[in-house]
Structure formats: structure tokens, C-alpha cells
Amino acid sequence: MYAWLVGIAIRRGFRRLNAGDPSGALDRFAPDAHFFFPGRHSWAADLRDPDQIRAWFQRFVELGPHFEIVDVIASGPPWNMRVGVRFSDRIALPGGGEYRNEGMQYVRIRWGRVRLDRIFLDTQAVADADPLLSPAAS
């Protein structure tokens, strides 16, 4: 039952990201959370500071991303839950065209608070789109 509720909360958070509101995700982060977005581009992040995590998400939603959630899995008790999210995302590029990617998100949750949020996706696709996302990427 708890895993089902977590799935609903995850989907709701992604709907809010699609609407340009990162608070649905950010409100669940613990003060000592670790956010990791891999790669060699301006979006790469290995963050543990809540203000830096908030700034990363705010910058991201300004691009107008659109996520489609393919699957959410959750396992473990409320004090040590693991969540996996399979998604696809797209962003309209300035001047036409579209960035598209798909990936997975691994989340560790303790008592309803995100302790770890790690994204796995095609980092080359992000790097290729990065210069096209200016001025947001600057």
C-alpha cells in the first residue's frame, strides 16, 4: 500500500515539473539530500546543498520540460524505501527542434524524505542540446 502511495506522489511531482513548478519535488527533499545528474555539460550536478538543489531545479523548469512516466517501482519499508522511475522527456529548443531523452531515476527515501536522487540518462544527448538551450544554459 505504501509503495502505491509513493508512486502516486512521484507522478504528481512530475506533473508539477511539467507545469513549471519544482516545489512538488523539492518539498520532499531532506535537508541533507544528495542530488546527482551525470555528465560533462552545464547541467551536470553533484549537489548536497538545499539552495543549490533548488537553483538547479528552478533553472531546469524554466526550459519547459515535459515528462512522460513509463513506470514507477517502489520497494522497502518507509524508513528505507528505494524508488525507480522510468521516464521520457522532451524540451522544445529555441529556433525549432526538440531535445528528447529517456532515462531512469533512482531515489532513496526515509520517512517520506528524499535522501538521494540520482538520474541515469543519455548524457551525450544532454551535452549536444546544452548549447542550444541558451541563454538558460549560460
Q: pLDDT (tens digit, 9 = 90+) per residue, 90-137?
A: 999 988 899 999 999 999 999 999 999 999 999 999 999 999 886 544
Average pLDDT value for residue range 40-61: 96
pLDDT of residue 51: 97
C-beta contacts of 104-109 below 8 A and 24+ residues apart: 106/82, 107/10, 107/82, 107/83, 108/80, 108/81, 108/82, 108/83, 109/6, 109/28, 109/78, 109/81, 109/82, 109/83
- Rounded to 5°, the CA angle 9-11-14 comes to 110
Peptide bond into 135 cis (omega under 30): yes
Domain spans in the chain, listed from the N-terminal domain onward: 2-133
Q: What is the pTM of this model?
A: 0.92
pLDDT digits (tens, 9 = 90+) for 69-89: 999 999 999 999 999 999 999
pLDDT of residue 137: 43
Using only the alpha carbons of the chain, give its radius of gyration: 15
Among candidate residues 136, 117, 134, 125, the one with its CA nearest the CA of residue 58: 136
Q: What is the CATH number of domain 2-133?
A: 3.10.450.50
Confidence of residue 1 (pLDDT cuts 50, 70, 90): confident
What is the pLDDT of the chain when averaged over all its residues? 93
Confidence of residue 4 (pLDDT cuts 50, 70, 90): confident
pLDDT digits (tens, 9 = 90+) for 44-53: 999 999 999 9
pLDDT of residue 24: 86
